[in-house]
Amino acid sequence: MARKMLVDGELNQTNKEGAEYDFDLFVIGAGSGGVRAARFSANYGAKVGICELPFHPISSEVIGGVGGTCVIRGCVPKKILVYGATFGGEIEDARNYGWEVNEKLDFNWKKLLQKKTDEINRLNGIYKRLLSNASVKLLEGEGKIVGPNKVEVTQPDGTKLSYSAKHILIATGSRAHRPPIPGQELAITSDEALSLDDLPKHAVVFGGGYIAVEFASIWRGLGATVDLFYRKELPLRGFDDEMRAVVARNLEGRGIKLHPQTNLTELVKTDNGIKVITDHGGELIADVVLFATGRLPNTKRLNLEAVGVEIDKTGAVKVDEYSRTNIPSIWAVGDVTNRMNLTPVALMEGTCFAKTVFGGESSKPDYRNIPCAVFSIPPLSIVGLSEEEAIEQVNGDVLVFTSTFNPMKNTVSGRQEKTIMKLVVDAETDKVLGASMCGPDAPEIMQGIAVALKCGATKAQFDSTVGIHPSAAEEFVTMRSVSRRVTARGKAKTNL
């Protein structure tokens, strides 16, 4: 049964009463956001259809898979490889804990790759069952919009199916971007990096974001020589500057060679591998070059311009605060809108969409205090404002509390790698505006801190919380001394 849509307390009828449709909702894209929106809408009583490209670990314009980027070629397989890469350092650290480890350690890349593939196949099946259990009709094929209430699905054999829907949701995600330099076809993206037949001996990573830092850590942890090139002074643009410096120091400490403020200008195939040429005139030979230079929304083949759906210069679908496009019956969630490109955010947007359109509850996604993590080795995790953002946004002074220490585990293992934690506080209200940590288990710890910030916790409440001892996490409730006080719109200074 089709339902009326509630927005801002008023019923907004996007179609004439009594109109008949094949579906109340048709979703194009069965990734995290699309599956969430489809399932929750169906739970509200909507008749829902969803389409997705045929499954394959490496995506293209005509292959993809239920579960989307995160499950098949993103967060999940990446985290499995991070776990695998972390064991190398753990085994070395174990020596000083009494474990007699042979000098030569053997690593079987193909075994890890197969285990990763087995897991994404399992999750692909789980996502299909989630849709089936919610009575969502799943169609395999490429979807495009041919009218405000009409979609066309091209099946793998070329057969075209046409469906009408009261509401259409675009949830097609994004795809890796390749910089247009000579020889760019010799490079790989994160898709291929997760499915390489052989572990590289010497890898070049171009980019300074999450994906670049994470793959540099993975390959180095598995024994490869790694050179990381990026355009800025520090990696991870947009994160707290002090934490960026810590990550850079840790990457170097783990043996990754950093090349800040350096662009790649050309790749050349040679008998010995791929010759990498930089804008500083430098050259080196690598057997793998990874482009991790951002992602672009998947909208090119959706026929949006013909239907009149507005997109921005990157191809992202323009939406309002309810995820609705300029065409009243068409909506979009997830990376395809290029708002905050994180899997849990796509889940939130899909949930809010279902509540708004079919649940009778006007619901806007809340982008405040969203935690995130960079799974470098060791990882970085943050929630709330960085020091730089707080200085720009707060009217009064900003108090910064930091704690830098050698984790207990390292005192015995001998690893020279410090953990750093940070709280950013509004001096006038005592409210904690941001928290960050770089060190072992940072994402696990930060998820709990995120709850506190979501509840509006003050520094006094942090201070009054009893810590768990001995743990790294207790440092967040024992930072008593102000590291620095910064006047709003001043310049943040690090202790590094």
Give the residue numbers marked as catalytic: 469
Return the closest-CA partner of residue 357 out of 160, 166, 152.
Answer: 166
Judge whether 185 is annotated as a binding position: no
Judge whether 125 is annotated as a binding position: no
Judge whether 427 is annotated as a binding position: no
Judge whether 435 is annotated as a binding position: no
Return the closest-CA partner of residue 57 out of 1, 117, 145, 139.
Answer: 117
Judge whether 158 is annotated as a binding position: no
In angstroms, the Cα distances linking 13 to 101, 166, 318 are 69, 10, 21
Return the closest-CA partner of residue 152 out of 286, 242, 22, 290.
Answer: 22
In angstroms, the Cα distances linking 241 to 111, 246, 258, 370, 422 are 38, 9, 17, 18, 12
- Find out whether 374 and 213 touch, Cβ atoms under 8 Å: yes
Judge whether 143 is annotated as a binding position: yes
Judge whether 211 is annotated as a binding position: yes
Concatenated DSSP letters of 23-47: EEEEEE--SHHHHHHHHHHHHTT--
What whole-number distance in Å separates Cα of residue 350 and Cα of residue 336? 13
274 forms bridges with which residues in the sheet?
269, 286
Judge whether 197 is annotated as a binding position: no
Judge whether 214 is annotated as a binding position: yes
Count helices and strands in the chain by DSSP H and E runs: 13, 24
What whole-number distance in Å separates Cα of residue 303 and Cα of residue 300? 7
Cβ-in-10-Å burial (0-12, 13-18, 19+) of 214 comes to buried
324 forms bridges with which residues in the sheet?
331
Angle among Cα 361, 366, 371 to the nearest 5 degrees reads 140
- Find out whether 229 and 204 touch, Cβ atoms under 8 Å: yes
Q: Which two tokens stand for residue 86?
A: 């972390």
Judge whether 414 is annotated as a binding position: no
- Interhelix angle 32-43/343-358, nearest 10 degrees: 30
Q: Which two tokens stand for residue 108?
A: 């079987």
Judge whether 425 is annotated as a binding position: no
Q: Which two tokens stand for residue 118?
A: 């087995």
Judge whether 213 is annotated as a binding position: yes
Any residues with CB less than 8 A from the CB of 473 and at least 6 apart, and which?
441, 445, 448, 467
27 forms bridges with which residues in the sheet?
50, 169
Judge whether 8 is annotated as a binding position: no
Hey, what long-range contacts does 389-393 have (CB within 8 A, 24 or more apart)? 389/434, 390/424, 390/426, 390/433, 390/434, 391/486, 391/488, 391/489, 391/490, 391/491, 391/492, 392/488, 392/489
Helix (H) or strand (E) holding 72: helix 68-73
Judge whether 29 is annotated as a binding position: no
Counting every residue, how long is the chain?
496
Judge whether 392 is annotated as a binding position: no
Angle among Cα 386, 392, 398 to the nearest 5 degrees reads 65
Binding-site residue positions for NAD(+): 207-214, 294
Q: Can you say which residues are annotated as belonging to the binding site?
A: 79, 143, 172-174, 207-214, 294, 335
Per the annotation, binding residues for FAD are: 79, 143, 172-174, 335
